Amino acid sequence: MSAPTIPETQKAIVFETCNGPLLYKDIAVPKPQANEILVNIKYSGVCHSDLHTWKNDWPAVPLKLPLVCGHEGAGVVAAVGANVSPDQWKVGDLAGIKLINKACLSCENCQQGEEPACGKLILSGFQTDGTFQQYGTVDAFQATKLPADIDLSSVGPILCAGITVYKGLKTSGAKPGQWVVISGAAGGLGSLAVQYARALGLRVIAIDGGDERGDFVKNLGAEEFIDFRKCQDIAKEIHRITDGGAHAALNVSTSEAAIQQSVDFVRNRGTVVLIGLPADSKVCLPILETVCRQISVKGSYVGNNWDTNEAIDFFARGLVKCPIKIVGLSELESVFKLMEEGKTIGRYVLDTSK
Ligand SMILES: [Zn+2]
Ligand SMILES: [Zn+2]
């Protein structure tokens, strides 16, 4: 394939200070370092983390400023660095840019394929420019291979939300035929979690509020639905359905109370996985019970390359669907506004050409 012409400048959404104006403007197209590839980003999903980043809700996380946010980019390889072999990447390949843009690949975690635990991570849209731009760079090792026939507009959310819940389910250790409870099941992460759980052969109890959300999660494959607005004792109901408690609980909601409750409804030797991030929250564990019932509580966020490839594969085979709404890159500010007001349905995806 002949090399495409790479422009000198491109459109991007940039902010110079947190909470400052979201500027839709021309910036330089970055040059890939020797171990990087340059991706012509066609679409980028918008994640709640992007909103949190812009608002500086996580001041402990260091940010590059000015910054281009975004970590759900899907596009075409436009250039490869000098050290990138053709076995890794060729111009014209389809590639994804996910949250992990670069890991050290030499620490004890990286050596064990546990890059999300690397202490020297560079995250897309945090410490390096992300995917709300037309061209972005990513370490060749961390870039995600996308199948040639994938729909670039809808795969972006899998690169963050999809991986997050898929990795969470793997972290839970739940096996085919076992029960997993997903709280916040009708939300963006939850609806993907229900589908991945089903695809993995797990039995799903979905918790959310309202008949409409109940019908929605049952359509996605939840075997049982518990309406937290109506159920008097959720733990008791789960123990009844599962004959002794769920094997695992996946907490994607941002309700501290819901997360707290999950410790009570897993069975002996069950696992509680924490994913949702309610601000300034804690889980309180009864020590005697946790010890004697051998309950595990684990944190989980994104996965490594292999988790990512697996998550993409489920999506590519049509086992997992993610409803999206496509708007232009220039409309990011209005998407953030809808997110703040809790009015988004499905995932918003930015078309970088508009
Ligand atoms: Zn995200
Ligand atoms: Zn490392």
Q: How far is the CA of 126 from the centre of ligand 1 (A)?
A: 11
Q: What is the pLDDT of residue 323?
A: 83
Which residue ranges of the chain lie beneath pLDDT 70? 1-3, 345
Of all ligands present, the nearest one to the C-alpha of 164 is 1
pLDDT in tens, 268-285: 999 999 998 877 788 888
CB atoms within 10 A of CB 60: 4
pLDDT in tens, 4-21: 789 999 999 999 999 999
Q: What is the pLDDT of residue 283?
A: 86
Q: What is the pLDDT of residue 64?
A: 95
Residue pair 161/189 in contact (Cβ under 8 Å)? The answer is yes
CB hemisphere CA count around 347 (13 angstroms): 31
Q: How far is the CA of 118 from the centre of ligand 2 (A)?
A: 4
Residues whose Cβ atom is located within 5 A of ion ligand 2: 103-104, 107, 110, 118
In the CATH scheme, what is the code of domain 9-159+303-351?
Answer: 3.90.180.10
Of all ligands present, the nearest one to the C-alpha of 102 is 2
Q: Which residues contact 87 (CB under 8 A, 6 or more apart)?
A: none
Q: How far is the CA of 2 from the centre of ligand 1 (A)?
A: 34
CATH superfamily placement of domain 163-299:
NAD(P)-binding Rossmann-like Domain (3.40.50.720)
What the block records as the tokens of 112 is 């064990």
Each domain of the chain, given as residue ranges in start order, spans 9-159+303-351, 163-299
Of all ligands present, the nearest one to the C-alpha of 71 is 1
Of all ligands present, the nearest one to the C-alpha of 106 is 2
Q: How far is the CA of 315 from the centre of ligand 2 (A)?
A: 28
Q: How far is the CA of 49 from the centre of ligand 1 (A)?
A: 5
Domains 9-159+303-351 and 163-299 share a fold: no
Q: What is the pLDDT of residue 157?
A: 92
Q: What is the pLDDT of residue 48?
A: 87
Q: How far is the CA of 113 from the centre of ligand 2 (A)?
A: 9
Q: What is the pLDDT of residue 3?
A: 64
